[in-house]
Chain A
Amino acid sequence: MSPFLAALRKDLLLQWRTRSQLVAVFVFGASALLLFSFAIGPNAAALRQHAAGFLWLALLLASTLALADSFESEMAERALEGLLLLPADPRALYYGKAVANLLQLALLGAGLVPVMVVLYDAGTARVPSLLGIILLGAAGLSAPGTLYAAMTAQLRARNTLLPLLLFPLVVPALLAAVKATSLLILGDPMGQLAAWTMLLVAFDAIYWSLCGLVFERVVED
């Protein structure tokens, strides 16, 4: 088994064993969507107009909880250090965890879509495209999120620092994801979806390549 597959298997197994936390994170995201809808009020057009933005905000807030959780088990008994000393390739460990986090966030995003449809009356017939955008947006959150979660995992103020570090970095990917989702919900008369999707793919490529290179410096003494 390649080191990457070994790391991915390990992280998926850990996520499965702690799946009750994912349920809690989903409930948090759904609650955020509900609270955002209160801010708009009973205006169906305005709710539909802002649905994409609120979906991604809810996912962004929920992602900080999920990402921070993903390093709890690594730090409790210094399991990550134990793997590095075997030695395990730090890049394999990073990409294994980042892919596992990507799958978790994509699942979370897909789970929040029906909540958004019910609360904001913001459905779309292009469901596969919407799921594709959620996958790409989740990739834009998970790559830098995994890196910063590793960086802050041993700090006392990690719950504050992770969003402070992560949010500014993911703004470009978040904007592209919001715009692409909005075009899918509200219609795309000018044919802009492909351009926003390409922008999202480009930021994903940058995050996934750079964060993988930096991870070793973050986790080694």
Chain B
Amino acid sequence: MTALAVETIGLSRRYGRRWALSDVSLGVPEGSVVMLAGRNGSGKSTLLRVLATALRLDHGSARVAGHDVRTERDFVRRKVALLDHHSFHYEALSACENLEIAASFLGCPSDPSLLARVGLEARADDPVSGFSAGMRKRLAIARVLLQDAAIVLLDEPYGELDPPGFELLDRVISELRARAATVIMATHLVERGRALCDRALLLEEGRLAWSGPASEMPTETPSVSAAP
């Protein structure tokens, strides 16, 4: 039986009085590539941020790489890399300096070749403030690769990327699969997700509406009762 990289039981999270996630129970096997689908506001980003320990959960439990996200936050963070809507970079610093800073906190040497891998070698010494949204996303991908994490959470990774960027990301996901990393990717690009992912999770109004093989994911989302 394959061990679970991510397991949640009754996971709930609210913003003020609105429940963004309600009673979400799921399991993601180690080494699998999972698509997280759902409409805008369905809770995809919140779920990824809770699993990455960027947000606390309000009810239920979640274990990531065998560690409780509530009580073993630092252990979880060592195992997880999050590609967020925000790039996590300092705009006044160059791409190279941003990677060096991340490397110094990770305790590993910085790898300038990562910038070449994401197509930013020519802009390595330019401040990030002059980067386009797509270039920032590429730099964020380089940072995720630097982390070399066992579990990679990608929130709308194709957003802002150009077609060569799409191909770059497809290659990155294939490489992550090849080294048996677990990938959970929130995306609206369902056809691309079906082609890349083993499994799919469908969120609707903060609840898990469907889960199964990615190739069988329904186009029309089944209705679920409203979140409390």
Are B92 and A86 interface neighbours, CB within 8 A? no
Q: Given A13-B97, A87-B77, A221-B56, check contact A79 B104 (CB 8 Å).
A: no
From A1-9, A101-109, A165-173, the one touching the partner chain is A1-9
Q: Chain A's nearest CB lies how many Å from the CB of B86?
A: 4
Q: How far is the CA of A138 from the CA of B86 in the complex (A)?
A: 33
Are B86 and A85 interface neighbours, CB within 8 A? no
Are A77 and B91 interface neighbours, CB within 8 A? yes
Are A3 and B92 interface neighbours, CB within 8 A? no
Are A78 and B104 interface neighbours, CB within 8 A? no
Most A CB atoms within 10 A — which of B90, B91, B147? B90
Chain A contact residues (Cβ within 8 angstroms of B): what range?
20 to 34
Q: Is A129 an interface residue (CB 8 A)?
A: no
Q: Is B138 an interface residue (CB 8 A)?
A: no
CB contact between B88 and one of A6, A13, A78 (< 8 Å): that residue: A78
Q: Chain A's nearest CB lies how many Å from the CB of B10?
A: 19
Q: Is A76 an interface residue (CB 8 A)?
A: yes
Q: How far is the CA of A9 from the CA of B105 in the complex (A)?
A: 11
Q: How far is the CA of A88 from the CA of B105 in the complex (A)?
A: 6
Q: How far is the CA of A155 from the CA of B95 in the complex (A)?
A: 28
Are A79 and B88 interface neighbours, CB within 8 A? yes
Are B92 and A73 interface neighbours, CB within 8 A? yes
Q: Is B47 an interface residue (CB 8 A)?
A: no
| Interfacial chain A residues near B143, Cβ < 8 Å | 82
Are B74 and A77 interface neighbours, CB within 8 A? no
| Interfacial chain B residues near A79, Cβ < 8 Å | 88-90
Closest to B94 in A: A17
Are A3 and B90 interface neighbours, CB within 8 A? no
Closest to B77 in A: A87
Per-residue contact bits, chain B 118-137, to A (CB 8 Å; 1 contact, 0 not): 00000000011000000010
Are B53 and A86 interface neighbours, CB within 8 A? no
Are B88 and A77 interface neighbours, CB within 8 A? yes
Most A CB atoms within 10 A — which of B86, B104, B147? B104
Q: Is B198 an interface residue (CB 8 A)?
A: no
Q: Chain A's nearest CB lies how many Å from the CB of B70?
A: 12
| Interfacial chain B residues near A18, Cβ < 8 Å | 92
Q: How far is the CA of A85 from the CA of B91 in the complex (A)?
A: 18
Are A221 and B90 interface neighbours, CB within 8 A? no
Q: Is B82 an interface residue (CB 8 A)?
A: yes
21 contacts between A and B (CB under 8 A): A3-B105, A6-B101, A6-B104, A9-B104, A13-B93, A14-B92, A73-B91, A77-B88, A77-B128, A77-B136, A82-B84, A82-B86, A82-B88, A85-B52, A85-B77, A85-B88, A86-B105, A88-B105, A221-B54, A221-B55, A221-B56
For the A-B complex with A10-B104, A17-B93 known, give 6 more contacts whose Cβ atoms are closer than 8 Å.
Answer: A3-B105, A9-B104, A77-B87, A77-B89, A86-B102, A87-B77
Closest 6 pairs (CB-CB, A-B): A82-B88, A87-B77, A6-B104, A78-B86, A17-B92, A88-B105
